[in-house]
Amino acid sequence: MAKVEEILLETPVDKKTLKKLEAGDMIRINGTIFTFRDKAHQKAIEFYKRKKKLPVDLNNAVIIHCGPIAKKTKEGWKIFSAGPTTSMRMEKLEEGFIKYSNISVIIGKGGMGESTAKACRKFNVVYCTFPGGSGALAASYIKKVKDVFWLEELGMPEALWVFEVENFGPLIVTIDIRGRNLTEEIKVRAKERISSYIK
Amino acid sequence: MKLKELEELIFELIKKVETNLPEEVVSEIKKAKNREKTETGKKILESILQNIEIARETKKPICQDTGTLTFFIQMGSEFPLRDKLKKALLNAVEKATKEVPLRSNTVDPITNKNTGNNIGNYIPYIDLEITNGRDCEITLLAKGGGSENMSKLKMFNPTDSLDDIKKFVVNHIVEAAGKPCPPTIVGVGIGGTSDLALKIAKKALLRPLGERHSDKTVSKLEKEIIELANKSGIGPMGLGGKTTVLDVHIEIGHRHPASLPVGVVMQCWAHRYGKVKIYGDGRVEWPR
């Protein structure tokens, strides 16, 4: 049974901590998160394949599928809006990314498929949903832009941003380390329901 | 009115649309939150409402995907600024990208280069309808990639029934599940040509929430799709719950005897749209 209260996790997130999390639980994150969208996933996998060193340490890290709106000011980068993008676009890349990077938590929205769920089970990773479209809310939890990489090459949305966050959430565990996949379960049930209503 | 003033008005429209969600949409999300029984569904809708407040107060974009800017314009053939309108629109889009700021969502499909200013081939999307008189009404719809990717077209056989169409739309809503950021607003275009079916589906999104089509049969079909979609249990962000759609709007167009196209266009809960009306004598109105 999913717990109602929110669990606060500090980054990097130990894999042992993930054991107590079940699909449907709510968590929040304190510490560092890294943005990885389509292109950054591809680029990171290329780096790993060529045994090149990534500019960031992803061991037990938290990543977010996100392309923020950022603006450079005198005081440094300012984030205006930074919610998650549709995770399913990363489905064909996520398994490889998980295998190479040893990350602990993925934040996105819309849910992910079978291959990610399998990788979550095999490599002890949880996938969480942040309420989609809530970019201003997400930005309010970002305390600092610690760094940005690949900005010139990939552009603002696709670059690898490093954020310092406080109480980042709510994050709903959507795939747990047992590979239980909430959005898939709900979709299967919805299809059954609908086919019983419309013949 | 000069070019600069017209540009400023369109800039204001973009800024308002991107940072301040129409009250009717907010009120539907509040109703959905009160109906919701699941903890996750309630939490998601609460966070969404909190996000709407933050965006309003801080004048920041509601969502980081500020979308493809889609302008539906009804311009009188004698509107005094007709020769300046296109320039004012483009200037306003460029300024909004820098100053609101918006994310630049204009990527060359061959080179993958982003123009950086939200201006490119055919973009911003401008739909111009010439009317009589001297006034001009500009409606802006900002639509993100996540919901746009869930658009669908099917060329039905003219002997297929309205039940077949209903099934197609409902199945699509279920198949799209959490991807278009539910609870969504769904536009359906029945008839016309293939491109028109999708275009009128998109235009249908602009009808006020809760308003039914004037035709009884169409209005009934809308209600049935709403009921079935919400019974599916997909719920907020596809994590389960009572509200999958905030509304379904159908528009109809006359079709070729051999064709029955049906277009479905989904808009996320962040249904960002707004209007400005500029009169020939320079008066400006901000209709709801």
pLDDT at residue A199, rounded to an integer: 75
- List Cβ neighbours of A95 (8 Å cut-off, separation of 6 or more): A115, A116, A118, A119
Q: Which residues of A87-97 are buried (b: 16+ CB within 10 A; e: fewer)?
A: bbbbeebbbbb
* Mean of per-residue pLDDT scores for chain B: 97
Assigned token pair, A33: 């998160």
The confidence score (pLDDT) of residue A3 equals 60
User: Would the CB atoms of B233 and A80 count as touching at under 8 Å?
Assistant: no
Cα–Cα nearest to A106, from A183, A180, A14, A34: A34
Residue A65: active-site member: no
> Any bridge partners for residue B107, and if so which?
B114
Sheet holding B245-253, edge to edge: B152-156, B260-267, B184-191, B245-253
Mean pLDDT of A27-47: 97
Q: Could you tell me if A79 and A88 are in contact, meaning their C-beta atoms sit under 8 angstroms apart?
A: no
CB atoms within 10 A of CB B149: 14
Residue of A nearest to B228 (CA): A194
Strand partners, B265: B187
Q: Which of B26, B29, B65, B245 to mutate to test the interface with A (most CBs of A within 10 A)?
A: B65
What pLDDT score does A5 carry? 85
Q: Please indicate whether, in this complex, the C-beta atoms of B231 and A83 are within 8 angstroms of each other.
A: no
3-state SS, one letter per residue, for B122-147: CECEEEEEEECCCCEEEEEEEECHHH
Cross-strand bridge partners of residue A106: A63, A127
Q: How many CB atoms lie within 10 A of CB B242?
A: 16
Report residue B3 CA to chain centroid gap. 27
Q: What is the ipTM of this complex?
A: 0.94
Residue B52 CA to residue A22 CA, distance in Å, equals: 29
Task: Quote the pLDDT of residue B121.
Answer: 98
What sign results for the dihedral spanned by CA atoms B181, B210, B62, B101? positive
DSSP β-bridge partners for residue B52: none
Domain ranges in chain A?
11-197
**Euclidean distance between CA atoms B63 and A133, whole angstroms:** 5
A190/B239 Cβ within 8 A: no
Structure tokens at A127: 């996938």
Report d(CA A124, CA A120) in Å as an integer. Answer: 5
Write down the domain spans for chain B: 3-20+61-144+272-285, 146-267
For residue A15, give the H/E element and its range: helix A15-18
Interchain pair A136, B102: CB under 8 A:
no
Give the best residue of B17, B56, B58, B64 to mutate against chain A (max A CB count within 10 A).
Answer: B64
User: B109-113 — which CB contacts under 8 Å span 24+ positions?
Assistant: none
What type of residue sits at position B287? P
Say if residue A2's pLDDT is above 70.
no
Residue A181 has pLDDT above 80, yes or no: yes
Contacts of B40 in chain A (CB under 8 A): 2, 24, 26, 172
Q: Which 3-state string (H, E, C) describes chain B?
A: CCHHHHHHHHHHHHHHHHHCCCHHHHHHHHHHHHHCCCHHHHHHHHHHHHHHHHHHHHCCCCCCCCCEEEEEEEEECCCCCCCCHHHHHHHHHHHHHHHCCCCCCCECCCCCCECCCCCECCECEEEEEEECCCCEEEEEEEECHHHHCCCEEEEECCCCCHHHHHHHHHHHHHHHCCCCCCCEEEEEEEECCHHHHHHHHHHHCCCCCCCCCCCHHHHHHHHHHHHHHHHCCCCHHHCCCCCCEEEEEEEEECCCCCCEEEEEEEECCCCEEEEEEECCCCCEECCC
Q: According to the model, what pLDDT value does residue B223 have?
A: 98
Could you tell me which chain A residue has the CA closest to the CA of B46? Answer: A131
CATH number of A11-197: 3.20.130.10
Helix (H) or strand (E) holding A69: strand A69-73
Return the pLDDT at B209: 97
Average pLDDT over residues A154-172: 96
pLDDT > 90 in chain A, percent: 94
Ranges of chain B with pLDDT below 70 = none
B57: amino acid identity, one letter = E
Task: Report pLDDT digits (tens) over B176-229.
Answer: 999 999 999 999 999 999 999 999 999 999 999 999 999 999 999 999 999 999
| Inter-chain CB proximity B39 and A2 less than 8 Å | yes
Rounded Cα gap, residues A128 and A21, in angstroms: 11
Instruction: Out of A41, A43, A65, A109, pick the active-site residue.
Output: A41
